[in-house]
Amino acid sequence: MCGIVGIVAHRPVNQAIYDALTVLQHRGQDAAGISTDDNGTLCSRKALGLVRDVFQERHMLRLQGNVGIGHTRYPTAGCSSSSESQPFYVNSPYGICLAHNGNLTNAVELKELLVNHDHRHLNTGSDTEALLNVFADELQRQNGRSLTPKAVFAAVAGVHRRCRGGYAVVAMIIGHGIVAFRDPDGIRPVCLGRRDTPQGPEWIVASESVALDALDFELVRDILPGEAVFIERNGRLHSHPCGGPRSYTPCIFEFVYFSRPDSIIDRISVYKARLRMGERLAEKILRERPDHDIDVVIPIPDSSRTSALEVAHRLGVKYREGFIKNRYIGRTFIMPGQEIRRQSVRRKLNAIDLEFRDKTVLLVDDSIVRGTTSRQIIEMAREAGARRVYFASASPPVRYPNVYGIDMPAAGELVAAGRSDAEVAQYVGADWLVYQDLDDLVRAVRYDNGDITQFDTSCFSGEYVTGDITPEYLARLEAERCDDARAHRDHAAAVADDEMGDGDTVAVRPRVGAV
């Protein structure tokens, strides 16, 4: 999962993109990058680290131009290396920078065709680089046309024909403007915003509407599945359906965990969806334990707070903040490597003993993925004096890999895979465990938008909306992306980064014009 942003304005966009990336930092903490177009000169800065660490004053001063894109990375493909930080760049045709959120399920086949048939050089293991080269190749195929909206949309249609999976993309074509598009199933989110100025309209595309709020843009709408938007440098906007839609099936885990509660995604309030998750979870608790002995409901901060508040209200028991979070530790779920995740939990959370002592506590979390965090938190609750510890998940058991851009690649690393609810409870050390039912989760999220009747629920149901996921694919994915394999790649990448150095902001003059 990553955060993307693109802005076309009548003033320098470097600070606005930086501010948008800080708001989208929750979507990825591995690396960050910004590329701008300074009247035909590409200016770029990207590196490993948080947004605030990657961009210093000297970098920002060199990121000139009124058009630009940005990215904050959470790696699911490739490795943690500065060479795989985004945006990526190719110089032909025109000069294109591209950033991407999601995962291509046919990346291996694409890379083979790009190298052997299209004679393109790929420098990394990132599927984003493959997607960029597909888009560049399709744009170059437009028979020498000048760069018209029709040519751009034909190229995006070619991308949709060749690429499979979940993806939201923002690309900057040097000297021309920004293109944004979304996979034909609408799995990964991206929205469009507008801000009116005396010089004319300014436009933004971003993963979540909260980035628009921070910059005083008005949310216009979500980019639809299969649709592309082309914003010219002068602020003229064009849109066209380029690939479907095949379906309208957003990833439901965006609403469970990844997105900020103050975001609106596909016309659905994340905050209200989480409130309804809490309502339905409380109803299940009352069905299964009408005479419950719960004294207090305590959320696991931060994303479960909204659901936990409603659970407490419906159960008629106290809601208390029993854990204090260290704001300077990243989101545990998206940290690379099981050992790093394990070590970070106790540094991230500290229990307030008086909220636990001699009480039957219901802990509420948004989900249980690997079980590492849940087990340590339950241990902390017992150490703080809890008499009994119950655990509630606002989402169903995560039993299947997610292949569309969320780091759930190996079934063997998922605590609920192959285990019953009682076995999971025993593993994490809970006296009782309750999961949200999948039907209830879907109804809770769908409530606001009648246009969406289904969601991608693959990590809960094992049903993959793109229809191309085989057991062989999942086995290969597990071998490539388990923690051990990733640790080996990250070590090799770290050695390479040490040898090559981190680099600095660069400015290059790409070839401009039709090929």
pLDDT value at 489 more than 50: no
* Confidence category of residue 491, pLDDT binned at 50, 70, 90: very low
Identify whether the C-beta of residue 143 lies closer than 8 Å to the C-beta of residue 170. no
- How do strand 388-393 and strand 296-299 relate by DSSP bridges? unpaired
Q: What is the DSSP string of 114-158?
A: HHHTS-----SS-HHHHHHHHHHHHHHTSTT--S-HHHHHHHHHH
- Overall average pLDDT of the 399-403 stretch: 93
The active-site residue out of 2, 43, 251, 459 is: 2
**Rounded-to-integer distance, Cα 160 and Cα 144, Å:** 21
Q: What is the pLDDT of residues 36-83, one digit of tens each?
A: 999 999 999 999 999 999 999 999 999 999 999 999 998 665 455 677
Q: Which helix (H) or strand (E) holds 169?
A: strand 165-173
Identify whether the C-beta of residue 447 lies closer than 8 Å to the C-beta of residue 275. no
Alpha-carbon torsion (497, 500, 501, 502), positive or negative = negative
Spatial CA neighbour of 304 closest among 387, 402, 354, 377: 377
What end-to-end distance do the CA atoms of the chain give, in Å? 34
* Confidence category of residue 492, pLDDT binned at 50, 70, 90: very low
Spatial CA neighbour of 313 closest among 276, 263, 268, 340: 276
Give the 3-state secondary structure of residue 501: coil
Structure tokens at 170: 């923002």
* 173 φ/ψ angles, rounded to the nearest 5 degrees: -100, 115
Structure tokens at 340: 């790093």
Q: What is the mean pLDDT of the chain?
A: 90
Q: What is the pLDDT of residues 148-160, one digit of tens each?
A: 999 999 999 999 9
DSSP label at 48? E
State pTM to two decimals.
Answer: 0.90
What local confidence, expressed as pLDDT, does residue 482 receive? 64
What local confidence, expressed as pLDDT, does residue 63 receive? 98
Residue 43 falls in the annotated catalytic set: no
Helix/strand number for the chain, H first, E second: 17, 23
DSSP label at 208? S
133: left (phi over 0), alpha (psi -120 to 50) or beta: alpha
What local confidence, expressed as pLDDT, does residue 298 receive? 98
332 vs 163, higher pLDDT = 163
Instruction: Return the minimum-mean-pLDDT range out of 117-126, 150-159, 231-240.
Output: 117-126
| Residues 6 or more apart whose Cβ sits within 8 Å of residue 112 | none
What is the Cα gyration radius of the chain? 23
Structure tokens at 227: 């649709």
Q: Which helix (H) or strand (E) holds 305?
A: helix 305-315
Give the 3-state secondary structure of residue 24: coil
What local confidence, expressed as pLDDT, does residue 407 receive? 81
